[in-house]
Amino acid sequence: MDSKSSSPSRAAVSRTIHDSPGTPSTAEAPTDSPPTGARKWAALLIVGVAIYMVTLDSGAVNVALPTIAADFTAPLATVQWVVLGYLVCITALLLPAGRLADLVGRRRVFLIGLALFATGSALCGLAPNLWLLVAARVVQGIAAALLQANIDPLVVTAFPTNERGRALGMIGTVVSIGLLSGPALGGAITQVLGWRWTFGMTVPLGLATALLGRRLLPRTPTQPGQRPDPIGAVLLIVTVVCLVLGLNRGPLVGWAAASTGGLLVVAVVAGGAFLLVQHRVTHPTVQLALFRSRGVTAAVGSSWLSFLSQANLRLLLPFLLQRLLGQPAGQAGLIQAAQPATVMFLSPLMGWLSDRLGSRWLASSGMALQIVGMLAFATVSAETAAWQIAAYLVLLGFGTGLFNAPNSNALYKAAPREHYGLLGGLRALTRNLGWVLGQGVAGALWTATVVGVGGGVAAAAASTAAMTAGFRATFFLAAGIALVGLFLSAVVRPPDPAQPPA
């Protein structure tokens, strides 16, 4: 099918947005040109250090939670707010942070985020009690939202179009390095120096990166003629906060509990009000006209489904390895590292290939491999060898590496430059909501299957056969979710435009 007749072009999307009722037709796109020479690599280095710092912090803090709980004599239900408060803030503020960056400049918002993250880390390390620690983590969460919403936009505006995929792939490698090193480094620091230093290690890193960024990051355009959308931003924050808390409480207190249902109902009502406001205000938080582009819809939708599909691994893989296969915790941790290690090495190559070959079939091949990987996991039993699990994770790593950078590259090619901040926030939001919703669904399905197959026996005392049935059900569901992602990536996504010369 001809892409010109089947989907709006990037320029057409830009005209649609600028000429829509929500935006004055006289608005002009900002004219920021990519830096040249060493400046673009300096920008990539600064952005890479920032995302490594955030990823490192998350992994390190998770490992330190038992020590924090013991230090403050706090139960798990209370100490989990050290993680949950941070996660809720990031997820709720990603889109407002991206929109703010489009209005006042991505560089400015990014540098504020770095300074605020370092400040929040220092406050965490000095917190005299648990609730002040949670408050400091909220500060970190606000800062992390400012950073995450601007990571990709700063990279894609620092590099010319025919080099963006490689740069985005390198950012994927940095994220994988953070995922691999965070738990190990956090555990070592907690054991030797104490949990407070797991926060303290990011303070000098954040401040030094902010100072370097102020000198080396190119200035980014602003949109002084547009105003913020405070009502829309508040409704969006309420929607996301209630959704995340509802999904988090469901597995703990039951999906039929009044608190769970109440949070989810508020999320639906606030979400509907948010969409109504976005259609009516002059300068909305989210330009809904962006989704008239098949390229934007396919990239965002398939990205969310990819994270949703793989979320069960984050929740259930430790149980599969340790309870079903009897692997010790240390060896289980090494096996789990197979997937991010594969993504780490593959991401830059796939990003480079997407610059030359286009993104559609690379990203679609990655989704297809994710389906194969989930179906492979659906065959596990108590007799499955540890090396087979590692092989399945490597296969999923290939799928993730094939998908992520090309899909991100396609997203930014499908939309006008002045909305890159919003797209950066949207991409990070799909990741966080995919993880949260996917783990909630996987946990509920696994528990229900185990209890049903086990004849009502609690999941904690389930037989091997019941546990196996639970794992297989979640992986079959994950494969089905990835199949829908493949449809969006291969069918809904428009053909790649002609590639510029290297």
Q: What is the pLDDT of residue 133?
A: 93
Distance (Å) of CA 87 to CA 308, 344, 431: 16, 24, 12
Q: What is the pLDDT of residue 35?
A: 57
Q: pTM for the full model? A: 0.78
Q: Are 115 and 210 in contact (CB under 8 A)?
A: yes
The residue among 307, 241, 308 whose CA lies nearest residue 271 is 241
Q: What is the pLDDT of residue 474?
A: 93
The residue among 137, 148, 55, 50 whose CA lies nearest residue 101 is 148
Span 475-488, pLDDT tens digits? 999 999 999 999 99
Q: What are phi and psi of 248, to 5 degrees?
A: -75, -35
d(CA 309, CA 304): 9
d(CA 343, CA 366): 11
Q: What is the pLDDT of residue 25?
A: 36
Going residue by residue through the chain (502 aa), what tens digit of pLDDT does each one get? 443 434 444 444 444 444 343 443 333 334 455 555 677 888 889 999 999 998 888 878 877 877 888 888 877 667 778 888 888 888 888 888 888 888 888 889 999 999 999 999 999 999 999 889 999 999 999 999 999 888 888 888 888 888 888 888 888 888 888 888 887 788 788 888 888 998 988 899 999 999 998 888 877 777 776 777 788 888 988 988 888 888 777 766 777 788 888 999 999 999 899 899 888 887 787 778 888 888 889 999 999 999 999 988 877 888 888 888 888 866 877 888 888 889 888 888 888 888 888 888 999 999 999 999 999 999 998 889 989 999 999 999 999 989 988 998 888 888 887 778 778 888 888 888 888 788 778 888 888 888 888 776 666 667 888 888 989 999 999 999 999 999 999 999 988 765 544 4
Q: Please count the other Cβ atoms lying within 10 Å of the Cβ belonging to residue 461.
A: 9
- Burial class of residue 451 (count of CB atoms within 10 Å of its CB; 0-12, 13-18, 19+): middle
Q: Are 352 and 408 in contact (CB under 8 A)?
A: no
CB-side exposure of 96: number of CA atoms within 13 Å?
A: 22
Q: What is the pLDDT of residue 37?
A: 62
The residue among 122, 123, 171 whose CA lies nearest residue 151 is 171
Tokens of 102: 């489009």
